[in-house]
Structure 1
C-alpha cells in the first residue's frame, strides 16, 4: 500500500482571467475546484494509474468536507483526521502570468499528531509512505522527523516531497526516494546548478548520504535519476504546457506506481516522467490513457 500524508490539504481554486488588471474588478472566463496539497495530488494520480493508495492527513471545516467528498468521488481511500478550523483555499490565477495565493491551514494540536501516528502502527515493510508538502504553523516543527521514525519502526519505505531547510534536515534519515528540481538541488548546497554535470555531481552527494533514489527534475528538459545501479537521464516528451500545478506530484506518483508494478527503477523513472508530462499537458492531473500514450516518447540513457 502507498500512503500519502498531507498535513495541510487545500481546495485549489483555479481561475482563468484573459486580461488581469490589478486594482479593478476582473471576471474569470473559467473557474475550477480541485482537492489539493502535494500528498493529495499524489494519491489522486496513483488511483488514476491503478495503484492502491490511502490519503492521510488533516481536514477541517466545510472546506475539509469538500476535499474528502471529492476524493471519495474519485474513489481514493480517505482517512483524513478532523481538526479545528478550516482547510485552506489556494487560489491559482491563470492570466498572462500565473499567480498563486495560498491560504492558511487549520489548527493541529498534540492530540491530532498522536492520532496521526497511531494510524501508522499497522505499517509493514511492504508499505510506502509519502510525506509531501508544507507543515502548518501549529504543528511541531519536527513532525516529519517523528513520522519518519515511526515509519522506520515498521520498515516502511519513506518518500520525501518537500524542499528547502526541511528537506535538507531530513536527508540524514536516508529516505527511499526524493525528487527535488534543479533549483531545489542547488539550494541544498547553496550553489547555482548550471549544467547536467552539476546535477549529477550534487545528486551523487545526496546519494552518498544514504538516499536510495534521487530524481532531479529539470522542467521540460527531463530528469536525472541517481540510484545504486547507476545514473540515468530521461528526456521529457514534447507537448503544449497547459498546467504547472501538480506536475511534480504526478512524477512522484508515476515513479511509485511504476516501481510497485515492475520493481524496476528504470521503468519507474519512465512512468514518472510520462506522468509528470501528461499532467503538464492537461488542465487537471493526468489520466492513465495519456500517461500510456507518452510512455513510448520517454527515452532513457544510462550515463
Structure 2
C-alpha cells in the first residue's frame, strides 16, 4: 500500500495571459483548474504508472467537494477528511510574460480532525509506503509531522519526506526511507550555496549522518544526485527539453523514483525513472503522462528495465 498525505491541498486555478500589466483589467486566454498539493501530485503520477495509492488529507466546503470530484475523475483513490467549516484553498497561478502565484491559506483544522487523520494510519503494515509532503498549516501543532512519523514508524512503514527547513531536520530523527530536498533547500539547511553535484553529494551525506537512509537531491538542469543506504553515490543527467511548468516537478520525481523502486528494487533504475518523470512534468502544462516519461526514458538510452512497467 502507498499512502500520500497532503495537509493543505488546493484547487489550482491556472490562467494564461499575454503581457505583464498590473493594476488593470487583464483578460485571460485560457483557464484550467487542477487538483493541487504535493502528496496529491504524487498520487496522481503514481496512477499514471498503474500504482494504486490512497490520498489522505483534509477538504472543506464547495472547493473541497470539487477537489474530491477531480481526484475521482482522475482515478485517484482519495480518503479526505471533510471539515465542518471553511473551504479548501484556491491557489491562483497567472502565467504570461512573468509568472505570478497567489496561494490561499486554507481552512482551520481541528485537533479532532487531525486525530482522525492519525487514526487512518493504523491501516499501515510493514513494508507499506507513506509520502509526507508540503508545509504544516498554521492551525495544526508544529509537531504534526512528528506525530504522523511516529505512527508510521510504529507500523514499520517506509516513509518518504518531501519538506524543507526545520521540518526536514526534525523528520530525520525517524530515519525516513527517502528525503528529497532540492539543492537550494539543501544548501539553506547548512548555510551554503550548492553549485555542483559533488557539493550536493557532500551535504546530502550530512543528512544521512543525521538519520536519512536515502537522499535524493534534485538540481534542475544539472540533474539529480542520489546517496543510497548501500553507500552508493549516483548521478543522473537531466533530459533536454523546454521548461513549460515547474509546479509539481519535484513531486513527480518522488513518484517516479518510488515507482521505479517498486518495479525494479534498483536504486539506479529508480533514479533514472525519477528524473525522467520530474522532467516530463517540467516539459508539460501539468503533471507528466506515462507516454511522455517513456519518451524521455528512451532518449536517455537506459531502457533495459522498461518492460517491468
The two structures share one fold, judged by TM-score above 0.5 = yes
Deviation string, structure 1 residues 242-284 (Cα, Å, up to 9, x no partner): 1111110100000011111111111111111010011011101
2:259 match: 257
Deviation of 1:151 after TM superposition, in Å, equals: 0.2
Deviation string, structure 1 residues 120-169 (Cα, Å, up to 9, x no partner): 11111121000111211111111000000000010001111111221122
Q: Distance in 1 between matches of 2:52 and 2:271?
A: 19
Deviation string, structure 1 residues 169-223 (Cα, Å, up to 9, x no partner): 2222211111111000001111111222211110111112221110111101200
Partner SS for 2:122? coil
- Give yes or no for the alignment of 1:4 onto 2:4: yes
Deviation of 1:299 after TM superposition, in Å, equals: 6.8
1:111 match: 112
Q: Check whether the contact 2:208–2:214 (CA below 8 A) recurs between aligned residues.
A: yes
Aligned length: 300
- Give yes or no for the alignment of 1:153 onto 2:158: no
* Structure 2: gaps of 5 or more residues: 303-309
Q: Check whether the contact 1:2–1:54 (CA below 8 A) recurs between aligned residues.
A: yes
Partner SS for 2:184? helix
Deviant stretches of 4+, over 6 Å? none
1:44 match: 44
Partner SS for 1:121? helix
Q: Check whether the contact 2:197–2:224 (CA below 8 A) recurs between aligned residues.
A: no
Deviation string, structure 1 residues 3-26 (Cα, Å, up to 9, x no partner): 000000000110111112111000
2:306 match: none
2:31 match: 31
Q: Distance in 1 between matches of 2:269 and 2:261?
A: 7
Partner SS for 1:271? helix
Q: Check whether the contact 1:235–1:299 (CA below 8 A) recurs between aligned residues.
A: no
- Give yes or no for the alignment of 1:184 onto 2:203: no
Q: Distance in 1 between matches of 2:157 and 2:275?
A: 24
Q: Distance in 1 between matches of 2:257 and 2:196?
A: 24
TM-score (norm 2): 0.95
Q: How does 1:92-111 map to 2 (within 5 A)?
A: 92-111=93-112
1:291 match: 293
Q: Distance in 2 between matches of 1:265 and 1:79?
A: 30
Q: Distance in 1 between matches of 2:197 and 2:57?
A: 36
Q: Distance in 2 between matches of 1:261 and 1:35?
A: 26
- Give yes or no for the alignment of 1:14 onto 2:14: yes
Deviation of 1:97 after TM superposition, in Å, equals: 1.6
Q: Check whether the contact 1:124–1:156 (CA below 8 A) recurs between aligned residues.
A: yes
1:193 match: 194
Q: Distance in 2 between matches of 1:36 and 1:99?
A: 16
2:123 match: 122
- Give yes or no for the alignment of 1:74 onto 2:74: yes
Q: Check whether the contact 2:153–2:174 (CA below 8 A) recurs between aligned residues.
A: no
Q: Check whether the contact 1:163–1:180 (CA below 8 A) recurs between aligned residues.
A: yes
RMSD between superposed Cα atoms in Å: 1.1
Partner SS for 1:59? strand
- Give yes or no for the alignment of 1:205 onto 2:206: yes
Q: Check whether the contact 1:234–1:299 (CA below 8 A) recurs between aligned residues.
A: no
Partner SS for 2:240? coil
Q: Distance in 2 between matches of 1:251 and 1:299?
A: 19
* Structure 1: gaps of 5 or more residues: none
